[in-house]
A and B are shown apart, each in its own frame.
Chain A
Amino acid sequence: MIHDSIIRDRLVTGDKTAADVTRDIARPILNKPSTSWKIGFSLSIVFLGIFVASLFYTLWTGIGVWNINKSVMWGWDITNFVFWVGIGHAGTLISAVLLLFRQKWRMSINRSAEAMTIFAVVCAAMFPVFHMGRVWVGYWALPLPNGFGSLWVNFNSPLLWDVFAISTYFSVSLLFWYIGLIPDIATIRDKVKGKTEKAIYGFFSMGWTGSTRTWARYELVSLILAGLSTPLVLSVHTIVSTDFATSVIPGWHTTIFPPYFVAGAIFSGFGMVATLLVVARKVMNYENYITIGHLDAMTKIIMVTGSIVGIAYLTEFFIAWYSGVEYEQYAFTNRAFGPYWWAYWSMMSCNLIAPQVFWFRWARTTPWFIFIMSIVVNVGMWFERFVIIVTSLHRDYLPSSWVMYAGSLTEIGLFLGTFGIFFTCFFLFAKFLPVINMAEVKSILRNRE
C-alpha cells in the first residue's frame, strides 16, 4: 500500500502541486531572460571569445605556440582533457547509478548534471583533437578505409580506445539526456504561445502525449539505458587512465589508476554540479526543488570520493616505496618535494584534506560554504592531473632531457576558453530547456514509499 513517508524528509518542499512545478521550472523559458542570466551569458561569451582567439592563433601559427615542444609533451592540454572528462562523469553517475540504486533525490539534479556531462565532454574533446596538430587529418583516428594500404587503426592503443570511449560516452549520454527531456519538452510545447516556438518544441517532443503505455516503456528504456551507462561511465575513465597506466613512465605505470581515476572523476564532477546548482537554485529560485537535503547528499558523495582519491594518493606512495623500484621512488619523492611541490600539496590539500570538513553538518548544509568548497575541489582536481602529467614527464630517464614546464598564454587562453564553451552552453540550456526534470519531480511530490 502507498502511504506518505514518516521517516524521510520531503524531497520537494513548499507544498508544491504539479501545476506549481511546471510554472516554477518553466518560468525562465516562458519569460524574457533575467538580468543575471544576461550578465552570466555575456561573461561566458567573453570567455568563448578567448577560446576562439587562442584556437585561431594555434591553428594559424602552429602547435609550437604551446609550450609542449619538450619532454612534457602533454602539458596543459591533456591535463585539461582529463579535467573536463572527469567533470563529465557526475551527470551519468547521478542519472544512471543513482537511478539503479533508487535514490530519488537525484530527480531534481539529474537534468542539469546530464547537460553538464555533455558540455564537459565537448570541452574535453577539444584538447586531444587540437593536440593532434594537423587537425584536418583527425579522421585518421577513425577506422576508415584509406589510401595507405589500407593501414587501419591500432586496436591495441589506449589512445584509440579513447576515441571509441569518448565518442560512445558522448553519444549515449546525449541520447539518455534527450529521452529524459522528451516529456518536459512536450510540457513546454503545450505552454509556449509563439507559433515558431510551438513548432520547435513540437518537433523535439515527437508527439509525446503522456500515454500510460508510453510511460511504462519509457521507464523501462530509462532503466536499461541506466544499466548500460553505469559500466560505460566506469569504462570511460578507466580507459582514460590507461592512456597513462599502460605506459612505462614512472608515476604512471600503476594498476591503481583505473579505480583512482573513476573516483576522482566522480569527485570532480560532483564538485562542478555543486558549483552550478548552488548558484542556480538561488538565481532561479529553485530552493524548494534543490533543497539543503540535496546539497547534503552531494557533499557526502564529495567527501567519500575525495577520501577514496586521498587513499589512492597514499597507496601510490606506499607502493612506490614497497616496490623497491628506484625510478618509482624518485618519481613520487620528486612529486612531493621536487620543484613542483606546490602543485602536489595544492592537490593534497584540496582533494584529501579540505573535503573532510564535510564531516560537519554545518559545512554540508551551508550553501555559500559548499560553493567555495566546490571550487576548491575543482582546483584540486585540475592540480591532480597537472601533477600526474607534468611531474612524471619533466624528469625523464635521461637527466639531459630534464626540463621545467609552464603553460604558455595560448594554453592558458584555451583552458579559460573552454569555460566559455561550457557556460555558454549551460546558459543556453537554462534559457531554453527545463533545468529540473519536471515529470520526475511531479512524481515525488507526495513523498510516497
Chain B
Amino acid sequence: MGILDKNLSLRNRNKMLVGVWEDEDSLVAATSELVHNGVKIHDVYTPYPVHGLDRIIGVRRSKLARVAFFCAMTGFTLVTTMIWYMYVHDWPMNIGNKPVRFTPSWAPVMFEGTVLCTAFGMAFFFFWRNRLVHGIKNELLDDRQTDDRSIITVELTDNTDQNSILETMKKHNPVELREFHNGVQTTI
C-alpha cells in the first residue's frame, strides 16, 4: 500500500451516485443504513468533522501516531548526533575545565529538535497521504460542500442495485440526488 490514499481522487471514477444533505442527523442516518444494507460507500464529504462517520464507512484507524513516533526517534537521533559531533568530537569546548561529555544541559536542544522533526515529519506524511498539495486542482462535487452541505458518494458497478440505494437515500430527505458519470453530474 502506497502512502497516498487513492480513494480520495475522483479522477478515475466512472459512475457514482451523489447524495447531498444539509442536516447532519439525516446524513449520519442515511450513511448508517446504506452501510447496514451492505452498500460500499466511496466517501462522505462534510464541511466540518462529524465524529463517528469514519468508523461507519469503514475508514481504518490512521497510522499517523506511528509515523509521529518514527519521526520523533529520527529527530532525537539526528539532534543528539549533531550535538555529540559538534561538542564532543569535532571541537571539544573547554568551559571551566568541565568534562566534555553528555550532560543534562543538552536536553533542551534535544527536546526542541525532536519536537520539530516530529511535527514537520508527521505533517508531511499527513499531506502526502491525504493528497493535500499546493496548487492541486479542486475536485468538488458541490460548491457548498465546504460551507453547509454534506455529500455521500457511492461508486456504481454492474452488480450494484442502484434503485435500492436511491430508495434508501430518499428515505432520509436528501436535498438533491445526482449521478456522476466521467466527471459530469446530472440531477436524478
Given contacts A213-B54, A218-B49, contact A17 B139 (CB under 8 A): no
Q: Which of A230-278 contact B (CB under 8 A)?
A: 231-232, 235, 239, 242
Number of A-B contacts (CB under 8 A): 197
CA distance in complex: A215, B108 (Å): 33
How near does chain A come to B87, taking the closest CB pair, in angstroms? Answer: 5
How near does chain B come to A412, taking the closest CB pair, in angstroms? Answer: 33
- B131-158 CB contact bits vs A (8 Å, 1 = yes)? 1111111111001111110000000000
9-residue interface stretch from B89-97, B166-174, B178-186: B89-97
How near does chain B come to A422, taking the closest CB pair, in angstroms? Answer: 24
How near does chain A come to B176, taking the closest CB pair, in angstroms? Answer: 15
B146 A213 Cβ-Cβ under 8 A: no
B30 within 8 A of A: no
9-residue interface stretch from A151-159, A302-310, A316-324, A332-340: A151-159
CA distance in complex: A154, B103 (Å): 12
| Chain A residue nearest in CB terms to B79 | A164
Q: Which of A119-157 contact B (CB under 8 A)?
A: 143, 149-156
Given contacts A190-B143, A218-B49, A239-B108, contact A232 B68 (CB under 8 A): no
CA distance in complex: A351, B187 (Å): 63
| Chain B residue nearest in CB terms to A152 | B86
Given contacts A155-B106, A202-B138, A213-B59, contact A191 B147 (CB under 8 A): yes
B93 A154 Cβ-Cβ under 8 A: yes
A220 B62 Cβ-Cβ under 8 A: yes
CA distance in complex: A186, B50 (Å): 17
A210 B145 Cβ-Cβ under 8 A: yes
Provide the residues of chain B in CB contact with A182, threshold 8 Å: 132
How near does chain A come to B140, taking the closest CB pair, in angstroms? Answer: 6
How near does chain B come to A379, taking the closest CB pair, in angstroms? Answer: 31
B83 A155 Cβ-Cβ under 8 A: yes
CA distance in complex: A228, B69 (Å): 11
Provide the residues of chain B in CB contact with A153, threshold 8 Å: 86
Q: Which of A412-449 contact B (CB under 8 A)?
A: 438-440, 442-443, 446
Provide the residues of chain B in CB contact with A446, threshold 8 Å: 24
Provide the residues of chain A in CB contact with B90, threshold 8 Å: 150, 152
How near does chain B come to A339, taking the closest CB pair, in angstroms? Answer: 35
Q: Which of B79-112 contact A (CB under 8 A)?
A: 82-83, 86-87, 90-91, 93, 95, 103, 105-106, 108-109, 111-112
Of A202, A204, A219, A220, the residue contacting B65 (CB under 8 A) is: A220
B108 A210 Cβ-Cβ under 8 A: no
A155 B8 Cβ-Cβ under 8 A: no
| Chain B residue nearest in CB terms to A207 | B136
Given contacts A151-B91, A221-B123, A224-B65, contact A143 B47 (CB under 8 A): no
Given contacts A19-B148, A154-B93, A155-B106, contact A213 B140 (CB under 8 A): no
A225 within 8 A of B: yes
Given contacts A155-B109, A216-B54, contact A172 B8 (CB under 8 A): no
Provide the residues of chain B in CB contact with A17, threshold 8 Å: 148
Provide the residues of chain A in CB contact with B15, threshold 8 Å: none
A175 within 8 A of B: yes
B119 A175 Cβ-Cβ under 8 A: yes
A208 within 8 A of B: yes
A213 B130 Cβ-Cβ under 8 A: yes
| Chain B residue nearest in CB terms to A212 | B44
A34 within 8 A of B: no
Given contacts A210-B45, A212-B53, contact A228 B118 (CB under 8 A): yes
Provide the residues of chain B in CB contact with A156, threshold 8 Å: 95, 103, 105
A88 within 8 A of B: no
- A342-366 CB contact bits vs B (8 Å, 1 = yes)? 0000000000000000000000000
Provide the residues of chain B in CB contact with A161, threshold 8 Å: 108-109, 112
A-B contact pairs, 12 of them (CB 8 A): A18-B48, A143-B82, A152-B93, A155-B105, A158-B108, A175-B119, A190-B140, A206-B134, A210-B47, A213-B59, A235-B108, A439-B49
* Sample of 7 further A-B pairs with CB below 8 A, known A175-B123, A207-B138, A210-B45: A152-B93, A190-B145, A208-B146, A210-B46, A213-B43, A214-B8, A235-B108
